[in-house]
Amino acid sequence: MESDLTKKLPIREHIKNIKKILNVIYQMNHAYFFLASIVHMINVGIPYLGLILSAYILDSFTIKGYQEIMIVTVAVTVGIFILSFIASTIWNHLEVERERMYWIYTSMTQEKMLILDFSRINSPEVRDIQTKIDRDMNWGAGLNSVFWQFNHILYQILNILFAVFVGMPVFTQIVVSNQWQAGLILLIIILLAIIGMKGRAYFVKIHEKFLYTTIKEEEKEEMFCCCWEFARGDGFNYKNGKDIRIYEGYDLMKRWTVDVLFYKKFRKSIWSGAVGLAGAAFCYSSVQGILEGGAYLTIAVLALLGTVSLGNVVKFAGCLKNLMSAIVSLIGSLEDLAVTARRHISTFEFLALENEMYAGKLPVEKRSDNQYQIEFHNVSFRYPGTEQYALKNFSMKLKIGEKLAIVGMNGSGKTTMIKLLCRLYDPQEGEILLNNVDIRKFKQEEYNRLFSIVFQDFKLFPFKLAENVAVSKQYDIQEVKNCLIGAGFSERLKELKYGIDSYLYKDYDEDGLEISGGEEQKIAIARAVYKEAPFILLDEPTAALDPLSEYEIYTNFDKIIGTKTAIYISHRLSSCRFCEKIAVFHKGELVQFGNHKELVKDTKGKYYEMWQAQAQYYQMEAK
């Protein structure tokens, strides 16, 4: 399949893409282009000052005094030093800004993920765009490539302008003295420009052939990406290091990283590519040599004919050489920028995605008594891209202050119900009501504040313990400690040298905590309690623990939440016996509802079947 980057685009599309990516830079820093122009104007101008000074010295030996020449030379030298210092200072500032803008731009896709509808994150459309972004950025340096190429283009444009401005008086002198010589110079300039452009085009053609034809996309991914990850050390890290050592996985990792470097197919591709690139480089160097040689040869003829002075020979030769090189280099840089800008189309496509879920505008009533009632009314839901219902015709009223357990086998619809409750998804049929108002009508951020959830795949951050509990840099110290103690983390807390200011893991601190799975779950529960939300949900966060440990955590959690509405989700029935009501899910439907004693009496029901299947494990754990 032809790569998107190798398809021909109209010039106007290239211009549109370039304007779009440059506009991104401008929006992040309005002054960047202006300051960069000043820097390049100075850097381009300094060599021309040296060229003009050289011409002045050569032409002044016979007509100017030694002292005057020295004064001019010193003055120009000091001026060059001052200009160089100014340019260097501004450039250092711009480099810091470039790094800042690079990371801002890189984080845009992550920020977009946070505000994009959760239901779209894992959709085929978004996955395809993310694949494109990864592929498009695989051979580039992201936004840095744009900076480098833009600066090079700006430098060459200014170089052309300076070459014309400084060299034009000499050329005018040649025209006045001898028009056929001037015509000859113009002809030579045109011929050299054509040779330069053709040579550059040939170089680009060979280079692209190597990048997009010599090695297929799937081979690139296998041979280069894996090798690069291995070279950086990403293949082996602290998290997977234990498994690699225990299971002796080094050979397997090595097969996907180092060994590919010795594959015959790899060596053949690299060799053919190297030969091609060597030919392209030779072509490019030859073009540069022809341009420089042609420039000097032309001026040498003019000098021999006595058309211009020796100083003007030096000046015009330098200008002509710079002009030719700048034109060829500018054309190549414009082509490179066009390709680079094209690589960012997929990123713009992703950033342009709009949310599809209705954004409500109603504020959620703030109630100190937590009198919020939620009702599911004939709710049905299918995940995007599937035909099977994850939840079918589901109705239930969550009573205020109730402790509700939701049980069922994996895939029965328990977690789906929670995702719909939190409005991570909208149901295809039916409605969910908060105090008799459709939840879609409320502002999402205000509705989210009603819930504290500990998901099965919850995430802790490599920050301070207190920041993990409060999910903020600002927190109530005593309340953080109370939540940790209530969640059963008190014994470990006493052992910590830095208390709640201890870092989790070792990403940012060598003394960071190594915590067990059970301790992670206690911290996650403390985080849920700290939020002070009227609804608290546990979505099987203790699935990795044994039944008795899970029962202990659930029981302690029930004590610390007080009168709040709580929902406990588990496939282990023993953990939820203390709940006032138990909802039994099976194949996306609510099949039973009641308390433990009522449900276990129904010997034909799903709850009794699950209870009998799990009873032997509860007995073994008790022993």
SS3 string of 516-558?
CHHHHHHHHHHHHHHCCCCEEEEECCCCCCCHHHHHHHHHHHH
Cβ proximity of 530 and 469 under 8 Å: yes
- The Cα 45–Cα 162 span in angstroms is 7
pLDDT at 34: 95
- The Cα 441–Cα 420 span in angstroms is 14
Alpha helices per DSSP H over 116-225: 118-121, 124-136, 143-177, 179-209, 217-220
Which residues does the chain have with pLDDT short of 50? 1-3, 210-228, 230-233, 621-623
- The Cα 570–Cα 9 span in angstroms is 55
The dihedral through the CA atoms of 24, 25, 29, 33 has a sign that is negative
- The order of strands in the sheet holding 451-454 is 451-454, 535-539, 565-570, 403-407, 581-586, 589-594
Burial class (CB in 10 A: 0-12, 13-18, 19+), 259: middle
Residue 462 main-chain phi, psi, to 5 deg: -80, 40
pLDDT at 375: 92
**pLDDT 10s digits, 3-50:** 455 566 778 888 898 999 999 999 999 999 999 999 999 999 999 998
User: What are all long-range contacts of 209-217, with beta carbons under 8 Å and residues at least 24 apart?
Assistant: 209/276, 210/272, 210/273, 210/276, 210/277, 211/139, 212/3, 212/5, 212/6, 214/269, 214/272, 214/273, 214/276, 215/269, 215/273, 217/3, 217/135
**Nearest Cα to 51, choosing from 197, 216, 176, 166?**
166
- The Cα 549–Cα 352 span in angstroms is 47
Q: Which tokens is 222 given? A: 């296998």
List the beta bridge partners of residue 17.
Answer: none
- The Cα 98–Cα 108 span in angstroms is 15
**Count of C-beta atoms within a 10 Å radius of residue 529:** 23
- CB within 8 Å of 585: residues ≥ 6 apart: 406, 407, 408, 412, 413, 414, 417, 591
pLDDT at 218: 43
Which residue, chain included where needed, has tokens 């000098």? 303
User: Within 13 Å of residue 270, how many CA atoms lie on the same side as its CB?
Assistant: 10
pLDDT at 11: 81
Q: Which tokens is 620 given? A: 């073994």
Residue 568 main-chain phi, psi, to 5 deg: -110, 125
Cβ proximity of 525 and 441 under 8 Å: no
pLDDT at 66: 75
pLDDT at 391: 92
- The Cα 446–Cα 198 span in angstroms is 62
List the beta bridge partners of residue 380.
Answer: 429
Q: Which tokens is 299 given? A: 């001026």
- The order of strands in the sheet holding 391-398 is 391-398, 374-381, 429-434, 437-438
Maximum distance among all Cα pairs of the chain, rounded to whole angstroms: 119
pLDDT at 333: 85
Alpha helices per DSSP H over 358-454: 414-421, 444-448
Q: Which tokens is 248 given? A: 């002796």
Cβ proximity of 336 and 17 under 8 Å: no
Residue 417, classed as helix, strand or coil, is helix
Cβ proximity of 437 and 360 under 8 Å: no
Q: Which helix (H) or strand (E) element contains residue 430? A: strand 429-434
Cβ proximity of 389 and 380 under 8 Å: yes
**Count of C-beta atoms within a 10 Å radius of residue 343:** 23
- CB within 8 Å of 348: residues ≥ 6 apart: 20
Cβ proximity of 119 and 426 under 8 Å: yes
- The structure's pTM equals 0.69
**Nearest Cα to 214, choosing from 261, 262, 272, 283?**
272
